[in-house]
């Protein structure tokens, strides 16, 4: 996260207290009665983001400089213990009911940390192996059919920067291991990609799944023009009455630096500092990374207006729990957004580990109400075996 992201985080933190107060009372649009529903009319999933394997946490459960593999391992153990945990009496979907299954666990990218030489970050290959050990091997949640819960992943800017390079010195210059791992796991190509065959320009991690009448769309970083072309094709077969949820790494008001450099040779360099993570060439202002991506966001807003059944946007990147409505650069859209914390780089949980959280989501497919709950998984660091506790929650309509 660069200085632009830090400024955005500071702005959001300034009013997050008000958001938390509102959410703790359960912000609702057409709230449910809080009673349980049948499994056939219920979707439940977990959303977490930014595990950043390769980093260390300043302090965690009484220890100092704790490796990300340890922190994320504890998080996964907390996920495994969700079965039977009672949801809070907050008036939302399944309020006061025990969790009996989890359809999927969704991770919002930045599996690896960017391998900047000055920070001596471990190889993305090591980070990917640590992630798969935790989230593929050790994750033991079960779905409604008593089978292993599905895992869905989208790439983050650090995963992509490791793949395409970065304007600061990297060691090695590129390492596509986490992108290759995601691509092979999520896209299941006939011929699995390797370091010698993977091509970021053509091998994008974007896919969709239908779960109990809701369409889940997983995107490569942010819905730029190329991702919108793919989404248009994907949504052609989706009824206009089917709710669509978007999952990606980036915030909706995407940062300019993610786009392809509009200057000179359009390469990645230390002068322009564009990162070329998205194939769309940046168009705004003076064409610097300090410019707001207004043109690009307006194009996304136009896409949303063409697809009003897109009801929610889940993301990571700026790393703290928040439920909010994105109105676009011209305040002419209202998209429910859900921002997730990071176990390693949380804007607040980095210094206050009791704020570490993931999101537990319950959807009633009959009423088409969705409740997103903040799950505090380390609220009592002195007692690592203590159960999770519940923070803020928000219920929204996805009709």
Q: What tens digit of pLDDT does each residue of 65-120 get?
A: 999 999 999 999 999 999 999 999 999 999 999 999 999 999 999 999 999 988 88
Residue 44: DSSP 8-state: E
Mean pLDDT (whole number) for 294-306: 98
Preceding amide of 389 cis, omega within 30: no
Q: Encode pLDDT of 190-212 as tens digits.
A: 999 999 999 999 999 999 999 99
How many separate domains does the chain show? 1
Residue 355: DSSP 8-state: G
Residue pair 49/317 in contact (Cβ under 8 Å)? The answer is yes
How far is it, in rounded angstroms, from Cα 337 to Cα 307? 16
pTM of the model: 0.91
Q: Encode pLDDT of 346-367 as tens digits.
A: 999 999 999 999 999 999 999 9
How far is it, in rounded angstroms, from Cα 30 to Cα 33? 10
Phi and psi (nearest 5°) for 105?
-115, 130
**What is the extent of the structural domain holding 335?**
3-397
């Amino acid at each position: 996260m660069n200085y632009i992201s830090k400024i955005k985080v500071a702005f959001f933190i300034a009013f997050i207290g008000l958001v938390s107060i509102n959410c703790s009372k359960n912000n609702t649009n057409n709230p449910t009665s809080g009673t349980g529903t049948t499994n056939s009319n219920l979707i439940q999933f977990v959303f977490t983001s930014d595990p950043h394997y390769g980093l260390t946490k300043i302090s965690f459960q009484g220890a100092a400089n704790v490796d990300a593999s340890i922190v994320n391992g504890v998080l996964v153990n907390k996920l495994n213990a969700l079965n039977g945990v009672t949801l809070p009496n907050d008036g939302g979907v399944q309020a006061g009911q025990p969790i009996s299954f989890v359809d999927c666990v969704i991770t919002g990218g930045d599996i690896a940390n960017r391998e900047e030489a000055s920070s001596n970050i471990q190889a993305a290959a090591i980070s990917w192996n640590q992630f798969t050990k935790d989230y593929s091997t050790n994750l033991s949640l079960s779905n409604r059919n008593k089978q292993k819960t599905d895992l869905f992943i989208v790439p983050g800017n650090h995963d992509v920067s490791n793949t395409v390079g970065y304007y600061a010195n990297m060691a090695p210059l590129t390492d596509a291991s986490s992108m290759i791992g995601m691509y092979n796991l999520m896209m299941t190509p006939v011929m699995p990609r390797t370091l010698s065959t993977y091509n970021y320009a053509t091998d994008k991690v974007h896919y969709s799944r239908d779960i109990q009448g809701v369409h889940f769309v997983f995107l490569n970083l942010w819905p730029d023009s190329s991702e919108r072309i793919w989404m248009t094709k994907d949504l052609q077969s989706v009824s206009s009455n089917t709710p669509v949820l978007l999952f990606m790494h980036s915030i909706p008001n995407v940062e300019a630096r993610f786009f392809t450099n509009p200057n000179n040779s359009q390469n990645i360099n230390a002068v322009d500092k564009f990162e070329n993570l998205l194939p769309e060439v940046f168009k705004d202002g003076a064409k610097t990374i300090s410019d707001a991506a207004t043109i690009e966001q307006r194009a996304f807003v136009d896409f949303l207006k063409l697809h009003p059944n897109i009801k929610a946007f889940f993301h990571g990147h700026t790393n703290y729990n928040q439920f909010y409505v994105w109105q676009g650069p011209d305040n002419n859209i209202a998209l429910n957004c859900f921002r997730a914390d990071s176990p390693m780089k949380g804007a607040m949980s980095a210094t206050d580990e009791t704020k570490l959280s993931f999101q537990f989501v319950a959807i009633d497919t009959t009423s088409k109400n969705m409740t997103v709950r903040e799950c505090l998984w380390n609220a009592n660091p002195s007692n690592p075996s203590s159960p999770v506790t519940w923070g803020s929650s928000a219920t929204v309509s996805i009709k």
